[in-house]
A and B are shown apart, each in its own frame.
Chain A
Amino acid sequence: MMRTQRPGRVELLTAIGLVLVPLILPYLGSAPNTVNRILVWGLFGIGFDILFGYTGLLSFGQSALYGTGGFVAAYLLTRAGFPYVWLALIIGMVAAAVVGYLVGLIALRRTGIYFAMITVAIAEVFYFVEFNPLSEWTGGENGLPGVPTPSLYLGFTTIHFTSGWSLYPFLAACYFIGIVVALRIVRSPVGAIFRAIRENPLRAAAVGHNIHAYKLAAFVIAAAYAGLAGGLLGVLQAFMPPEAFTFDTSGQLVIQTAIGGRGTLFGPLLGAAVWLFLQDFLQATLGLGAAWKLVLGLVFVLLVVFLRHGIIGGFVDLYRFVKRRKAPVEPREAAPSPGVADEQAAHAVAAKTAHAQPARRLHHAASDYTGPILQATGLTKHYGGVIANADIDFTVNAGELRGIIGPNGAGKSTFFKMLTCEVPPTSGKIVFEGRDITGMSVTDVCQLGLTKSYQVNQLFNRLTVRENVVIAALAELRGKFKLDMLGSVASIPGLDEQVSSTLALVNLTRRRDTPVSELAYGEKRRLEVGLALASSPALLLLDEPLAGMSPVERGETVKLLKSIAQGRTMIIIDHDMDALFELAERVTVLQEGRVLVEGTPDEIKRNAKVQEAYLGGVHGVIDVDEALA
Chain B
Amino acid sequence: MRDRNSNSNNSGRREFMRTGLAVAGGLALPAGFASRVLAADQPPIGTWPAGSQGDSVFIGIAVPRTGTYAVQGEDELKGYELAVEHINEGHPLIKAISPKTKKGVLGKTVKYGVADSAAKPNDAVQAQQRFITENKAILLTGSTSSAVAVALNKLAQREKVLYVAGISGSNDTTGKDCVRYGFRQNFYGETAANALGPVLLKAFGKNKKAAFMTPDYTYGHTVTKSMNDFLTKNGGWTMVTNQVSPLGAPDYSSYLTNIANSGAEFLINVNWGHDAVLSTQQAKQFGILPKMKLVIPYQIPFLAPEVGPDVTEGVYAATDFWWTLEDKYPLAKMFVEAFQKKYNYRPEWGAENAYMEFALWAEAVEHAGTFYPPDVIKSYESPRKLNSMVGEVEWRAADHQLIRPVIIVRGKKPGDMKNKEDFWEVTEIVPGAGVMQKPDAFGCNLGAYT
Query: Is A166 part of the contact surface with B, judged by Cβ < 8 Å?
Result: yes
- B66 — nearest CB in chain A belongs to which residue? A290
**CB–CB A243/B116 < 8 A:** no
In the bound complex, CA of A160 to CA of B24 (Å):
12
B-chain residues with CB within 8 Å of residue A284 when the two chains form the complex: 113, 115, 130
**CB–CB A164/B122 < 8 A:** no
A 228-247 binary contact with B (CB < 8 Å = 1; else 0): 00000000011101111000
B 393-410 binary contact with A (CB < 8 Å = 1; else 0): 000000000000000000
Query: Is B42 part of the contact surface with A, judged by Cβ < 8 Å?
Result: no
Query: Is B120 part of the contact surface with A, judged by Cβ < 8 Å?
Result: yes
A-chain residues with CB within 8 Å of residue B126 when the two chains form the complex: 33, 37, 237
Query: Is B295 part of the contact surface with A, judged by Cβ < 8 Å?
Result: no
A-chain residues with CB within 8 Å of residue B45 when the two chains form the complex: none
Task: Specify which of B129, B159, B172 lies most central, judged by the most chain A CB atoms within 10 Å of its CB.
Answer: B129
**CB–CB B18/A162 < 8 A:** yes
**CB–CB B155/A166 < 8 A:** no
**CB–CB B130/A142 < 8 A:** no
Cross-chain contact of A238 among B23, B26, B154, B217 (Cβ < 8 A): B154
In the bound complex, CA of A141 to CA of B147 (Å):
7
Query: Is B10 part of the contact surface with A, judged by Cβ < 8 Å?
Result: yes
**CB–CB B14/A131 < 8 A:** no
**CB–CB B130/A162 < 8 A:** no
Task: Specify which of B153, B158, B159 lies most central, judged by the most chain A CB atoms within 10 Å of its CB.
Answer: B158
CB distance from A359 to the nearest CB of B (A): 58
Task: Specify which of B116, B134, B153 lies most central, judged by the most chain A CB atoms within 10 Å of its CB.
Answer: B134
Query: Is A148 part of the contact surface with B, judged by Cβ < 8 Å?
Result: yes
A-chain residues with CB within 8 Å of residue B217 when the two chains form the complex: 140-142
A 146-180 binary contact with B (CB < 8 Å = 1; else 0): 10100100000000101111100000000000000
Query: Is B275 part of the contact surface with A, judged by Cβ < 8 Å?
Result: no
What's the dominant secondary structure at chain A's contact region?
helix
CB distance from B235 to the nearest CB of A (A): 30
A-chain residues with CB within 8 Å of residue B172 when the two chains form the complex: 142
**CB–CB B216/A141 < 8 A:** yes
Query: Is B256 part of the contact surface with A, judged by Cβ < 8 Å?
Result: no
Query: Is A599 part of the contact surface with B, judged by Cβ < 8 Å?
Result: no
CB under 8 Å from chain A, chain B span 4-42: 6-7, 10-11, 14, 17-18, 21-24, 26
B 323-352 binary contact with A (CB < 8 Å = 1; else 0): 000000000000000000000000000000
B-chain residues with CB within 8 Å of residue A163 when the two chains form the complex: 24, 129, 133, 158-159
What's the dominant secondary structure at chain B's contact region?
helix
Task: Specify which of A34, A142, A165 lies most central, judged by the most chain B CB atoms within 10 Å of its CB.
Answer: A142
CB under 8 Å from chain B, chain A span 22-67: 29, 31-34, 37
Decide: A146 near B65, CB < 8 A? Known: A141-B218, A166-B24, A239-B125. Answer: no
A 269-280 binary contact with B (CB < 8 Å = 1; else 0): 000000000001
Q: How many residues of A contact B (CB 8 A)?
A: 39
The size bracket of the interface on B is: 35 or more
In the bound complex, CA of A237 to CA of B123 (Å):
11
**CB–CB B7/A31 < 8 A:** no
In the bound complex, CA of A162 to CA of B218 (Å):
29
- A236 — nearest CB in chain B belongs to which residue? B129
Decide: A162 near B23, CB < 8 A? Known: A146-B7, A239-B155. Answer: yes
**CB–CB A241/B125 < 8 A:** yes
**CB–CB B11/A146 < 8 A:** yes
In the bound complex, CA of A239 to CA of B151 (Å):
7
Query: Is B150 part of the contact surface with A, judged by Cβ < 8 Å?
Result: yes
Additional A-B contacts beyond A241-B121, A292-B116 (12; CB < 8 A): A31-B134, A32-B24, A33-B126, A140-B218, A141-B216, A162-B18, A166-B23, A238-B154, A241-B122, A241-B151, A290-B66, A290-B70
Binding site for A on B (CB under 8 A): 6-7, 10-11, 14, 17-18, 21-24, 26, 65-66, 70, 113-116, 120-123, 125-126, 129-130, 133-134, 147, 150-151, 153-155, 158-159, 172, 177, 216-218, 246-247
* 9 A-B residue pairings within 8 Å (CB atoms): A33-B133, A81-B10, A132-B216, A141-B218, A142-B151, A237-B122, A241-B151, A284-B113, A290-B65
Question: Nearest 3 CB-CB pairs, A to B?
Answer: A141-B217, A145-B154, A241-B122
